[in-house]
């Protein structure tokens, strides 16, 4: 597609979408207006139905749980498409040695960066676990915690270098964790239906309101989301890093820890 045709399509799309966007903006409440009815209804219903103090989590995994399930499969499809495209173009013969551009100097990682990342990586992972498991109490949850955990994976790479990081990060393991997390969310929806309940209806003990283990089935779905997001984002990082590796001749070993 030529650049001129792309601009033309963009202009046509803008002509169609702009009036719709303007209509939505005009219908929005004035800035500072309290949107109380919806929030008040959630606050009245969710604590009694789910024993959850965090209303955002109650909405994500109960009131609009089907939407959350769809979002997880959108992420799964996006990661799968990216992996297929990159691996299909790149192949499976890349080594550990970083590709070099002619004439560009190789700047080694500083000891300060290595030390900072080795300290920040585990701490970031710990914070990601905290955000994940406190979904029923405080802002956060599986998606936010999964994003933080994937960020910790990047910090560990910066601290350990490619070769050391790659020995501990395996594509097959990430694939299994991502698919398993998405499957767990599906089972949280379909499992209750097998015993005669509604989709995503709670069939587990609710626990005590305000306690860490409260919310019943919501906690299981939240862990599934955390696993899928962590592995999905980490898989993307891995594939992008693989793009920076130099092709490995048959029988040769990579040896660069860059």
As a whole number of angstroms, the distance between CA 254 and CA 93 comes to 11
pTM summary value: 0.75
Residue 258 lies in a domain: no
235 token code pair = 């898989």
Determine contact, residues 103/187, Cβ cutoff 8 Å: no
User: Mind spelling out the 3-state secondary structure of 24-41?
Assistant: HHHHCCCCCCCCHHHHHH
Q: How far is CA 156 from CA 175, 185, 207, in A?
A: 19, 28, 36
Q: Is residue 252 one of the residues assigned to a domain? A: no
Q: Are 220 and 140 in contact (CB under 8 A)?
A: no
Cβ atoms of 96 and 256 within 8 Å: the answer is yes
pLDDT digits (tens, 9 = 90+) for 15-59: 999 999 999 999 887 777 776 677 778 888 888 778 888 888 888
> Is residue 255 in some structural domain?
no
| pLDDT, mean over the chain | 83
Beta strands in the chain (DSSP E): 94-98, 245-247
If one counts the domains in the chain, the total is 1
Task: Render pLDDT for 66-117 as a digit per residue (tens, 0 to 9).
Answer: 888 888 888 889 988 888 888 766 665 555 666 666 777 777 778 898 899 8
Q: Which domain holds residue 189?
A: 3-99+107-247
């Amino acid at each position: 597609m030529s650049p001129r045709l792309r601009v033309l399509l963009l202009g046509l799309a803008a002509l169609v979408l702009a009036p719709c966007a303007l209509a939505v903006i005009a219908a929005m409440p004035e800035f500072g207006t309290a949107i109380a009815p919806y929030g008040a209804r959630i606050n009245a219903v969710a604590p009694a139905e789910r024993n959850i103090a965090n209303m955002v989590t109650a909405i994500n995994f109960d009131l609009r749980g089907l939407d959350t399930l769809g979002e997880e499969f959108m992420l799964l499809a996006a990661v799968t498409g990216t992996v297929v495209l990159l691996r299909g173009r790149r192949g499976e013969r890349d080594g550990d040695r970083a590709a070099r551009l002619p004439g560009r100097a190789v700047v080694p990682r500083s000891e300060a960066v290595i030390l900072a990342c080795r300290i920040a990586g585990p701490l970031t992972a710990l914070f990601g676990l905290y955000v994940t498991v406190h979904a029923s109490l405080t802002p956060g949850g599986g998606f936010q915690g999964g994003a933080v955990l994937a960020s910790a994976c990047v910090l560990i790479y910066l601290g350990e270098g490619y070769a050391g990081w790659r020995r501990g990060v395996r594509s097959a393991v990430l694939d299994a964790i991502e698919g398993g997390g998405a499957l767990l969310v599906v089972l949280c929806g379909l499992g209750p239906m097998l015993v005669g309940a509604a989709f995503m209806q709670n069939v587990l003990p609710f626990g005590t309101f305000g306690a860490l283990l409260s919310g019943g089935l919501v906690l299981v779905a939240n862990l599934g989301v955390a696993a899928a997001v962590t592995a999905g984002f980490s898989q993307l990082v891995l594939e992008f890093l693989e793009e920076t590796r130099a092709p490995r001749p048959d029988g040769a070993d990579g040896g660069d820890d860059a």
